[in-house]
Amino acid sequence: MKKDIILAGVGGQGILSIAATIGTAAIQDGLYLKQAEVHGMSQRGGAVQSHVRISSEEIFSDLITLGKADIIISIEPMESLRYLNMLSKDGWLITNINPEVNIPDYPDMEELLAEIRKIRNHVALDAVKIAKEIGTPKTANIVTLGAATAHLGMGYETLKDAVRTIFKTKGEDMINMNLNAMEAGRKFAVEYKKS
């Protein structure tokens, strides 16, 4: 088992929580893990990415090789395309489509969505809307992760345990909020594939 995952978003959107959840699940499953994060200057509202690599064999590089990523999980639609050259031929693009417009020349939304739909294996979800619908507007990141759970090579129960571990210090409410968010994203992806 080997999964190379790129997480993308804008500083402050919570990609490190996604990375931590996947990482914790991988460790619980006894897998090897390497997870390259972005800290420092770029975190201030700029484009951020994280490379998460999980495998049953030892992993060497902290960075994924060009064209070899199995999944891109993005919390922002334009950011989902920024690292598209990293995605493998059969790779999955899973992205929230709620844009973070903090630059003056943000591209046209329809054109952006058309580009995303060009990728055969994609799930495009309005994670912000879904998060609001389930009453936890701040969990769009975990909703997006939920939509990717079928492609992570790990059992859903393992990922649920990881959410419990990650949010343990933040209390039971926080754990349940994020478990619901992940489940809402997962359900959306199942329906999306059918349609």
User: Number of C-alpha atoms within 13 angstroms, CB side, residue 162?
Assistant: 25
175 counts as binding another protein under rule CB under 8 A:
no
∠ CA(147), CA(153), CA(154), 5° rounding? Answer: 85
Q: Which is nearer to another protein, 27 or 134 (CB)?
A: 27
Give the nearest distance from C-beta 101 to another protein in angstroms. Answer: 10
137 counts as binding another protein under rule CB under 8 A:
no
Residue of 1, 62, 157, 191 interacting with another protein (CB under 8 A): 62
- Helices and strands per DSSP (H, E), number in the chain: 7, 6
CA dihedral 182, 183, 185, 190 (to 10 degrees): 140
CA 156/CA 139 separation, integer angstroms? 18
Residues numbered 11-30 forming contacts with another protein, rule: CB under 8 A? 11, 23-24, 27
63 counts as binding another protein under rule CB under 8 A:
yes
CA 92/CA 122 separation, integer angstroms? 5
Give residue 13's identity as a one-letter amino acid code: Q
Residues numbered 93-122 forming contacts with another protein, rule: CB under 8 A? 102-108, 111-112, 115, 119
- DSSP 3-state assignment of 161? helix
Q: Which residues contact 72 (CB under 8 A, 6 or more apart)?
A: 5, 6, 7, 8, 80, 83, 84, 86, 87, 91, 92, 93, 94, 95
List residues bridging with 96 in a β-sheet.
125
84 counts as binding another protein under rule CB under 8 A:
yes
Q: Which is nearer to another protein, 34 or 160 (CB)?
A: 34
Contact between 185 and 38 under an 8 Å Cβ cutoff? The reply is: no
Q: How many residues bind another protein (CB under 8 A)?
A: 54
Give the nearest distance from C-beta 145 to another protein in angstroms. Answer: 17
> Binding segment for another protein among 78-86, 148-156, 159-167, 179-187 (CB under 8 A)?
78-86
Residue of 29, 42, 141, 172 interacting with another protein (CB under 8 A): 42
> Binding segment for another protein among 32-40, 136-144, 150-158, 178-186 (CB under 8 A)?
32-40
Using CB under 8 A, list all residues that contact another protein.
Answer: 10-11, 23-24, 27, 32-47, 59-68, 78-79, 81-89, 91, 102-108, 111-112, 115, 119
